[in-house]
Amino acid sequence: MSSSDVVYNARLENAASHKREPKMSRAQSRTAAPERSPQVFWCPDLVSTRDLGPAGVEAVLRLAGIMKSRPADFRKTLTGRQIVMFFEKPSLRTRLTFEAGMVSMGGTAMFVDQTHERLDARETLSDVAHNLERWVDLIVLRTFSQQTIEGMAQHARVPVINALSDLEHPCQALADYLTLMERFGDVKNRTLAYVGDGNNVAHSLLLTAACLGSSIRVATPAGYEPDPRIVADARNIAAETGAGIYLMNDPHEAVGGADAVYTDAWVSMGQEKEERERANVFPPYQVNAELMAEAAPHAVFMHCLPAHRGLEVTDAVMDSEQSVIFEQAENRLHAQKAILYLLLGGGDRLPARSAHA
């Protein structure tokens, strides 16, 4: 078992004692919805899509749709609440949609640029957590390491949201499936083809598709497949929801007849040393007009952005009528508003817990 697994499992076991009451176990939260929502949202943090489970994913997407259609109804719902965002990586969409979303509901968002050093470089993560829990209502982290987010959630009494790590990007995948639901309605009988690197976005898409009972095909070069632990968890969820989880190396097999074609950067932030090697491996996975033609006639093209035009996708596809990339970007706002509301909307903060308790 890796150190990340140890931290994650420990956080699951102790979540109820660290967050506001009442709580359900995370095992229960994956199979049952709370009787009262959002006052008693059964997910204390959004560190992983696995924290939400099928019921949580559906709750977030349902609320996001309502918030998008009736924003005025939520203008004062988070009045007096404050969040802080620590970003170790640059951001456009993530930062602005969290800030705009929080302000649009009457709350306050504070940003700390952490790109110059890791969050725990000056003091221990637990010390940072015990400070923050006394000042703010929620912590948003965009980090290089998933362990940083898991550690913060383990130590802090207030909710923690994963705004991107090396392992997952749950907020992005929720916005993506909100976009697909707007286009196609029920996604249970739809297929998303992901082509490219088996990275954090691919991981969150796998887990979200599994939670929604949808079908996903992930095509990567050999050696760049998704993390086996994520795949195993997605397939375990799929066994309950009826989702289809398929991994392959042939992009044409993945795209054939698909309702949506998705790609991401071949080189993620932190992988710059691999850029030359990856440039030789990934060209067959470029999404171009020829590959899109193999998808269903009604298929849409998706990308989480920023895109490297001419590499993982061509200008012709990016700028085509099939492209829904800016709808995805817009829906980051609504999906994250729903997450913030569900985590903050009901319960009062607990008194700060002593670091010596």
Active-site residues, by number, are 142, 169, 172, 264, 304, 332
- Element at 67 (helix H, strand E): helix 49-69
125 and 151 in contact (C-beta within 8 Å)? Answer: yes
CA dihedral 161, 165, 167, 173 (to 10 degrees): 60
List Cα–Cα distances, 76 to 85, 99, 198, 205, 330, in angstroms.
Answer: 21, 15, 40, 32, 21
Q: Which of 112, 123, 157, 159 is nearest to 139 (CA)?
A: 159
Q: Which of 248, 26, 303, 48 is nearest to 166 (CA)?
A: 48
Counting Cα atoms < 13 Å in the Cβ hemisphere of 141 gives 32
- What pairs with residue 309 in β-bridges? 313
Helix (H, G, I), strand (E, B) or coil at 219: strand
Q: Which of 71, 131, 126, 60 is nearest to 103 (CA)?
A: 71
**Torsion over CA: 43, 163, 78, 125 (sign):** positive
Q: Which residues contact 79 (CB under 8 A, 6 or more apart)?
A: 105, 106, 107
Triad 276, 280, 285: Cα angle to 5°: 125
